[in-house]
Structure 1
Amino acid sequence: MSTQTSPPANPAAATGERDSLLRLYLSRGVLAVAWALAFAGAHEDLDAVAITLLVVYPLIDAVSSLIDHRATPNGAERRVTAFNGVLSTLAALAIGIAGARDEAAVLHVFGAWAIVSGAAQVVVGLRRRGPELGKQWPTLISGGLSFLVGITYNVQATGDHPSLGVLSVYATGGGVGFVLQALLLGWKSRQLRARAV
């Protein structure tokens, strides 16, 4: 079955969606990198600051999903973004509870969230592949890596010395993926505008 979506009937609507996604992806990427820098200096002790940062990260994803949901036309893609928003909200609650226990519990919850949200990101990326929004490679790669890394975190959580330092690397990778996707959307917009002239 083809993963290509048919060109939107309304070019203005397609341009609006593309521009909205560009802003969302860029903001999401910058926030993820900023979070990674903050958490890198706060993860040594699982104290109130570290737990707050851990809860904030999936909440950033939940808000991004809500914005994406509002800007996305009705269809399967919109339902997946809604699902991801609810999932990220629940993940934030679960991570807050796990933070009261230990690093292993946090890694288990974060890993489970990374697996499911990564799979959802791949689905959205596949649905958005097409002439208006490009090939979505950064989104697809980032989602696939999130899925695989989530499995790794759950394995690490069963070890003798689980560390939360790996989460900064995860957030940085995800942030870079979003920024790259935003840059590609900007390049796609310039291509389409040049063709229209």
Structure 2
Amino acid sequence: MSTQTATGTATGQAAAGERSSLLKLYLIRGILAVAWALAFASVQGDHDDVAAGAVTLLVVYPVIDAASSFIDHRATPRGSERRVIAFNGVLSTVAAIALGIAGAEGLEPALHVFGAWALVSGVAQVIVGVRRRGPELGKQWPTLISGALSFLVGITYNIQAAGNNPSLDVLSVYATGGGVWFILQALLLGWKSRQLRTRTA
């Protein structure tokens, strides 16, 4: 086996390993997001303030994201996206603490903090998606779309929080949408893996 062939094989195996890790991570992350949305809708309901159970869930959601970023960072062996993933993990940890404080203060502060976090984490998600645009990882379209929508929704939430009728009901929609995009990305990675296996069979 030539050095070039060995290098190509090693690169292919590394890409396959990263693809498999991301598939599992995205699938679990997506399922957790949808489950969170259902739980949050049931505890928050139509409250004009922030229900006690909702405050706990507000903290839990960015904690899930922080844990996912930690796992993603460990599974990413190379690439400048590792720094962005690490930043997003720290950001989500700070957001969890801030949401715990803001949720106790009231609906408007909680929506402001969640919106700010959604905005910045959306930008980070787009950056990671762009840097993973290679064919081995399925072009990352669901990740890019999800990140862009998170950025736009973050702006919207801050506008709503400053308005006359802010509501946390929108957070369940946000989490559901994010979960669906994560699941779609996992399915895309699974399809890409099967496609590559067929080519090499």
Taking structure 1 as the reference length, the TM-score comes to 0.94
Q: Note the C-alpha offset of 1:42.
A: 1.1
1:115 & 1:159 partners in 2: Cα distance?
Answer: 18
Give 1:3's aligned residue. Answer: none
Q: Note the C-alpha offset of 1:182.
A: 0.1
2:11 paired with 1:10:
yes
Give 2:69's aligned residue. Answer: 65
**Structure 2 alignment gaps of length 5 or more:** 1-7
Match of 2:81 among 58, 77, 81: 77
Q: Note the C-alpha offset of 1:9.
A: 5.5
Letter in 1 for 2:16: T
Q: Note the C-alpha offset of 1:39.
A: 0.4
1:182 & 1:130 partners in 2: Cα distance?
Answer: 15
Taking structure 2 as the reference length, the TM-score comes to 0.92
Letter in 2 for 1:20: S
Q: Note the C-alpha offset of 1:32.
A: 0.1
Query: 1:89-104 to 2 correspondence within 5 Å?
Result: 89-104=93-108
Q: Note the C-alpha offset of 1:8.
A: 8.9
Give 2:152's aligned residue. Answer: 148
Letter in 2 for 1:39: F
2:109 & 2:171 partners in 1: Cα distance?
Answer: 14
2:64 & 2:198 partners in 1: Cα distance?
Answer: 34
2:19 & 2:139 partners in 1: Cα distance?
Answer: 13
Give 2:191's aligned residue. Answer: 187
2:123 paired with 1:119:
yes
2:92 paired with 1:88:
yes
Query: 1:36-47 to 2 correspondence within 5 Å?
Result: 36-44=37-45, 45=47, 46-47=50-51
Q: Secondary structure at the match of 1:96?
A: helix
Q: Secondary structure at the match of 2:82?
A: helix
Query: 1:103-182 to 2 correspondence within 5 Å?
Result: 103-182=107-186
2:86 & 2:161 partners in 1: Cα distance?
Answer: 29
Query: Identity, % of aligned pairs?
Result: 74
2:116 & 2:9 partners in 1: Cα distance?
Answer: 35
Q: Secondary structure at the match of 2:135?
A: coil
Letter in 2 for 1:83: F
Q: Note the C-alpha offset of 1:10.
A: 1.6
Q: Which has the larger radius of gyration?
A: 2
Number of residue pairs matched by the alignment: 191
Q: Note the C-alpha offset of 1:161.
A: 1.9
Give 2:3's aligned residue. Answer: none
Give 2:32's aligned residue. Answer: 31
Q: Note the C-alpha offset of 1:47.
A: 2.5
2:79 & 2:9 partners in 1: Cα distance?
Answer: 13
RMSD of aligned Cα (Å): 1.2
Give 1:4's aligned residue. Answer: none
